[in-house]
């Protein structure tokens, strides 16, 4: 059956993929609202504490480049189950880590294994017909984005009631359950290539050379995700300091504001299906830059910070979905490898944004963070003005 003859995937399967993506990607963000707790537990500074988020994102970027291409080479069910088992192991080590160095190493492993998300998203694209692919991918990505945003709320609430270590141990249990469920429920999908692993990696890099839209979209999203990571890595420092003095519960409730932005993902997918991706991208860049200007003026107003959070998250989600819609049309036989380049590149941007944001906050406070992060979408907008993608 050709892609144009495919039927829409059943709703329960789309929901399962969305929930799986949300639960798994949350592993990358649990630490963000807990940085103040980690500082106290291990006796480290702000910049060092931010290194936990950075390590997780570096691990994710490495996994994107080294593991996700296997999605085109191996049967996906077994690969997904194996990566979830590794994520489970890394989360257990994170939850019991006796020292900060162990915590960083475990964070790298968790980040690398959590790339299972980026095997499931191309899987959703593969089982969807052309006419509604953007819509289906948007629904799955909305689950991923809800996982990103609600992870902060869940982490804060659990840490307030039990302690930060329990957050990671509960997630480890969730990964174990997912590994079993997906291994036996996901439809079987044949591999798309039989080339050796080394050749597979070389062909992945070749995708970036072959497809200019892939390079452009990856760099656009690097700028946006760097801004996103700088915001959410440092906002916990702002909210737990004067004049707010929020508890972990307060930080978690604030994170609910960002969750409102996840509703944009399905709409962005639908509009992309109708050919409005470029205009959506430009609008998202402008909105993101404006959001950081608002966040700077609202340093002492939780309402303005919440509005800025919604705008930042909506902007980043829009460019993510539009970018994936664009790149998935480049080569249907290599979607996992194309996704590997796309996600791997912009998570490097996210890692840089997390660490640079932490350093900026240490050196110049919230003002330095919003100036640094606000410039990034403007760089993306300038780059887009020089291309057609």
Rounded Cα distance, 231 and 295, in Å = 9
Banded pLDDT at 265 (limits 50, 70, 90): low
Q: What percent of the chain has pLDDT over 90?
A: 50
pLDDT the model gives residue 4: 43
The stretch 280-290 carries a mean pLDDT of 96
The stretch 251-266 carries a mean pLDDT of 75
**Cβ-based neighbours of 220, under 8 Å, separated by 6 or more:** 281, 285, 319, 323, 380, 383, 384
Lowest mean pLDDT among 84-88, 249-253, 271-275: 271-275
- Chain segment 314-332, per-residue pLDDT in tens: 999 899 889 988 898 898 8
The stretch 3-25 carries a mean pLDDT of 84
Q: Does position 337 have pLDDT exceeding 50, yes or no?
A: yes
pLDDT the model gives residue 369: 97
Rounded Cα distance, 255 and 236, in Å = 10
More confident residue, 231 or 139: 231
The stretch 257-271 carries a mean pLDDT of 72
Domain ranges of the chain: 10-192, 195-388
pLDDT the model gives residue 5: 52
- Which top CATH class is 195-388? mainly alpha
pLDDT the model gives residue 6: 64
- Chain segment 86-103, per-residue pLDDT in tens: 999 999 999 999 999 999
Rounded Cα distance, 114 and 112, in Å = 6
Residue 242 burial (CB < 10 Å; 0-12/13-18/19+)? exposed
The stretch 196-215 carries a mean pLDDT of 89
More confident residue, 294 or 119: 294
More confident residue, 349 or 264: 349
Q: What percent of the chain has pLDDT over 70?
A: 96
Banded pLDDT at 83 (limits 50, 70, 90): very high
- Contact between 99 and 42 under an 8 Å Cβ cutoff? The reply is yes
Rounded Cα distance, 138 and 120, in Å = 13
- Chain segment 343-368, per-residue pLDDT in tens: 888 888 988 999 999 999 999 999 99
Rounded Cα distance, 375 and 288, in Å = 10
Lowest mean pLDDT among 172-181, 206-215, 266-275, 313-322: 266-275
The stretch 149-154 carries a mean pLDDT of 84
Instruction: Please report the sign of the dihedral spanned by the C-alpha atoms of residue 315, residue 317, residue 319, residue 325.
Output: negative
The stretch 32-53 carries a mean pLDDT of 89
pLDDT the model gives residue 3: 45
The CATH-assigned architecture of domain 10-192 is Up-down Bundle (1.20)
Banded pLDDT at 262 (limits 50, 70, 90): low
User: Do the domains at 10-192 and 195-388 have one common CATH topology?
Assistant: yes
């Amino acid at each position: 059956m050709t892609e144009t003859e495919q039927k829409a995937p059943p709703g329960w399967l789309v929901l399962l993929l969305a929930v799986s993506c949300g639960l798994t990607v949350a592993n990358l963000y649990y630490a963000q609202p807990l940085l103040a707790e980690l500082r106290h537990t291990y006796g480290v500074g702000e910049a060092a504490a931010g290194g936990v988020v950075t390590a997780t994102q570096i691990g994710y970027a490495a996994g994107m480049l080294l593991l996700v291409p296997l999605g085109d080479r191996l049967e996906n069910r077994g690969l997904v189950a194996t990566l979830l088992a590794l994520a489970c192991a890394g989360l257990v080590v994170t939850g019991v880590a006796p020292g900060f160095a162990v915590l960083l190493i475990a964070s790298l492993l968790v980040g690398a294994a959590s790339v299972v998300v980026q095997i499931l998203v191309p899987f959703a694209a593969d089982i969807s017909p052309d006419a509604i692919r953007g819509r289906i991918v948007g629904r799955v990505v909305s689950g991923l984005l809800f996982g990103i945003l609600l992870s902060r709320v869940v982490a804060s609430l659990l840490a307030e009631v039990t302690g930060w270590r329990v957050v990671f141990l509960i997630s480890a249990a969730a990964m174990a359950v997912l590994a079993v469920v997906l291994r036996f429920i996901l439809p079987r999908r044949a591999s798309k290539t039989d080339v050796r692993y080394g050749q597979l990696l070389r062909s992945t890099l070749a995708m970036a050379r072959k497809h200019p839209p892939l390079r452009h979209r990856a760099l656009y999203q690097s700028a946006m995700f760097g801004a996103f990571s700088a915001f959410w890595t440092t906002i916990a420092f702002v909210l737990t300091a004067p004049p707010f003095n929020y508890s972990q519960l307060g930080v978690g409730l604030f994170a609910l504001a960002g969750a409102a932005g996840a509703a944009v993902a399905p709409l962005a997918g639908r509009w992309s299906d109708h050919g409005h991706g470029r205009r959506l991208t430009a609008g998202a860049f402008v909105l993101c830059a404006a959001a950081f200007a608002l966040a700077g003026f609202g340093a002492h107003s939780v309402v303005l910070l919440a509005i800025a959070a919604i705008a930042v998250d909506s902007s980043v989600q829009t460019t993510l979905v539009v970018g994936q819609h664009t790149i998935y049309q480049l080569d249907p036989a290599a979607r996992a490898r194309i996704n590997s380049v796309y996600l791997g590149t912009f998570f490097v941007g996210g890692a840089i944004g997390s660490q640079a944001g932490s350093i900026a906050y240490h050196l110049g406070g919230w003002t330095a963070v919003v100036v640094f992060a606000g410039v990034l979408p403007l760089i993306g907008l300038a780059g887009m003005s020089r291309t057609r993608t």
